[in-house]
Structure 1
Amino acid sequence: RLMVQEQLSAIPDGSVVVIDGLALGVLDRETTEVRHRLRLIALCHHPLALESGLNPSQQSWLFESERRALTNVYATLVTSDNTRRILTRDFTVSEDTITVAVPGTDRRGFAECKGRPTCLLTVASLTQRKAHDILISALADLAGLDWQARFVGGDHFDKDWAQILRKQVAKEKLESRIHFAGLVPDVDIEYQQADVFVLPSRFEGYGMVFAEALSAGLPIIATRAGAVPDLVPDTAGLLVAPDNPGALAEAIHSVLTADGLRQQLQTGARACAEKLPTWRESAEKVFNLLREVSQNDRL
């Protein structure tokens, strides 16, 4: 905190300062001290209290801290309409101070389904919010089908949880079916070599990987959690309730076995990909917000 205070105090009066929500949520006191001197903008992906694995006391503390911090900013930049709705409903943030800038998506070539075994791709850090444990349970019920799964993503955020996941895979005797790929140098290759994208997140503020999967034309199996339903239409994916391995297994089973369903969802994903915003479009929204705040004489 002392380092943050020193850095903020060194910034000239009237400057526009963007603070990522990963930091802002716990900087309620620090932002209060400079709110009348700096033009603060919050970049909120999703509220910190919605992270999985928190106990009620931690959730309550983070909620109140972030709520207070958000009262200290000029404007709030969010990455989805879902986060906008949460902030206006639960954090009493005025809607006219919120700008939605959906992240851009690089255009990539469409993947081609390669037949058997079906490659199920998951791209996510090994954290509780991403719910790999639910996916492993679902896949254990589908051991009789012909599939291979790749979990792409680092374990550096929560090594204890990553170890729990590896033990779960071993317990289910799926070591030869589920591969922990870790961080990879080129994730585009992973999308190109996959047949289906699966990620049963417990919450998503936006879900960049879903946009990336759509841009590769991959059928998606996910959850109705956070912003996912806003991003993944029924024509491109099957969405189930979070924390429901049975429903997830049923959805995966359908995509693996139902005649024509995978091709139908693939077609839907390709159509959806054409409508995703580009990085230029997203950057223009951010630039316009920065310009507006810099020219505002409210300070």
Structure 2
Amino acid sequence: MTRTGAPAAQRVVHFVLPGDIDDPAAPSGGNTYDRRVCRDLPAAGWHIQPYPLPGSWPRPDATARAGLAGRLAALPDGAVVLLDGLVACGVPEILAPEAARLRLAVLVHLPLGDETGLDPAPAAELDALEHRALHTVEAVVATSDWAARRLVTHHGLAPERVHAVRPGVDPAPLAPGTDGATGLLCVAAVTPRKGQHRLIDALAGVAELPWRCACVGALGRDPGYVAQLRGQVSEFGLDDRITFTGPRAGADLEASYAAADLLVLTSYAETYGMVVTEALARGIPVLATAVDGVPEAVGRAPDGGVPGLLVPPGRPEALTEALRGWLGDPQLRDRIRSSARARRAMLEGWEMTSHSLAGVLERLRHEPRGTR
């Protein structure tokens, strides 16, 4: 549906997406964000024309490259185009020929060079490609204030061209949890960037205390890392306390949250951390490494209280100390849980995401050409 007096034909955005955003075996925050944009942006006055493109993005083969080039070439002059950064940021030479006639914006979920585990040379190459791509387009959308600042400073972009559009979160019932302390939950794809190995190390450091931890997330992205983690769990004798469930969605994911007393997230990089707000929407406190946009997602309660425990990413022992504090101090748990429930009432819904993105697209639609 469109706003009164705004015909759909005047507000159309062509959204170029990775081809796997609906793959249940590979859920991600970026895919969730893209799906919600497709679903919710029409309520903010924009008709979406999605174009999922298969390919090994951000390093596509010749077929995928031709598919993207053909898709852009087929669009009419002046069309507003939003491209997922995974598709766009590695192929600036495909964007450049169309930049003068199309109104291009790139949605950056994670800078390409920030993926954990990349060797320095490939990371530098992807970073250079992204630099060129983002300087080619008229607008850049980041998924947090932190990410917007990072893109401006790292790539030398004009601040007025970079827009923070944070993910929203759906309202959810309060999670009953278990005994209020020992039910731990990690929701993240099992990859080195998410740092499950240091979570396991920290849990081994509090093995004498009661707890159980469910790691919910895709297992197929890095089988070698999954095998490493399983060996680590066995070495510590924690096979009956740490479980890897694979990806969960719908009622199964809701059940995982409902059984959680604490969300744990030990990532090396997060532009925002959507699982943080998903937990807080259920009143579940958070223990996380204070990287990148995570503190922004955690936020504060109205009284200034922090609804979780944020630990320095460079101090592995801090994770163990924080877990020991959570498990051993009822007053600490009560204080943090109270802040989490207060923060729950402050969270923005996806309608705010759509409203913010619609504003970016409207500005792009009317902006004089050549302003980039």
Verify same fold: TM over 0.5: yes
Deviation at 1:100, TM superposition (A): 1.3
* Distance (whole Å) between structure 2 residues aligned to residue 145 and residue 238 of structure 1: 18
Tell whether 2:307 aligns with 1:236: yes
Matches of 1:191 and 1:23, distance apart in 2: 32
Contact map agreement 2:181 2:261 (CA 8 A) in 1: no
Secondary structure, in 3 states, of the residue corresponding to 1:71? helix
Report what 2:321 is aligned to. Answer: 250
Deviation at 1:259?
2.6
Shift of 1:296: 2.8
Residue type of the partner of 1:283? S
Distance in structure 2 (CA, Å) of the matches to 1:40 and 1:264? 46
Partner Cα separation in structure 1 for residue 193 and residue 201 of structure 2:
16
Give the Å deviation of 1:153.
0.5
Q: 2-side partners of 1:249 and 1:95: how far apart? A: 39
The match for 2:91 is 27
| Partners of 2:69 and 2:224 in 1: CA distance | 32
In 1, Cα distance between the equivalents of 2:196 and 2:255? Answer: 21
Aligned to 1:103: 167
CA distance in 2, matches of 1:262, 1:238: 10
Q: Residue 183 of structure 1 corresponds to which residue in structure 2?
A: 247
Give percent identity, aligned residues only: 36
1:268 to 308, 314, 339: 339
1-side partners of 2:180 and 2:125: how far apart? 49
Residue 138 (structure 2) pairs with residue 74 (structure 1): yes
Partner SS, residue 170 of structure 2: coil
Residue 28 of structure 1 aligns with an amino acid whose one-letter code is P
What CA deviation, in whole Å up to 9, does each residue of 1:144-165 have, x standing for no partner?
1100000001112222222221
**Alpha-carbon distance in 1 for matches of 2:77, 2:177:** 56
Inter-partner Cα distance in structure 1 for 2:74 and 2:231: 48
Determine the structure 2 residue equivalent to 1:127.
191
What letter is aligned with 1:212?
A: E
Moved over 4 A (4+): none
Deviation at 1:117, TM superposition (A): 7.3
Please provide the CA RMSD for this pair. 1.5
The count of aligned residue pairs is 299
| Structure 1 stretches lacking a partner, 5+ long | none
1:259 aligns with 2:330: yes
Structure 1 residues 185, 231: closer, same or farther in 2, change over 3 A? closer
Cα deviation 1:218-277 (Å, max 9, x = unaligned): 111101101011222462111112253311011011000013111111111111121111
Aligned to 2:354: 283
Which has the larger displacement, 180-189 or 52-61? 180-189
Letter in 2 for 1:123: V
1-structure distance, mates of 2:297, 2:249: 26
* Amino acid paired to 1:261: L
Aligned twin of 1:222: 288
- CA displacement at 1:18 relative to structure 2: 0.7
Give unpaired runs (5+ residues) of structure 2.
1-64, 300-304
Distance 1:117 1:146 in 2: 9
- Match of 1:278, as an amino acid? G
2:268 to 183, 202, 206: 202
Give the match for residue 13 of structure 2: none
Give the aligned residue type for 1:286.
L
**2:181–2:262: 8 Å Cα contact kept in structure 1?**
no
Seen in structure 2, the aligned counterparts of structure 1 residues 224 and 117 have a Cα distance that, compared at 3 Å, is closer
Matched residue SS, 1:203: coil
Return the alpha-carbon distance in structure 2 between the equivalents of residues 202 and 12 of structure 1.
41
- Aligned AA (1:196): L
Distance 1:151 1:12 in 2: 46
**CA distance, structure 2, for counterparts of residue 14 and residue 209 of structure 1:** 37
Query: C-alpha distance in 2, partners of 1:9/1:265?
Result: 53
- Return the alpha-carbon distance in structure 2 between the equivalents of residues 197 and 174 of structure 1: 19
Contact in 2 for aligned 1:235/1:264 (Cα 8 Å): no
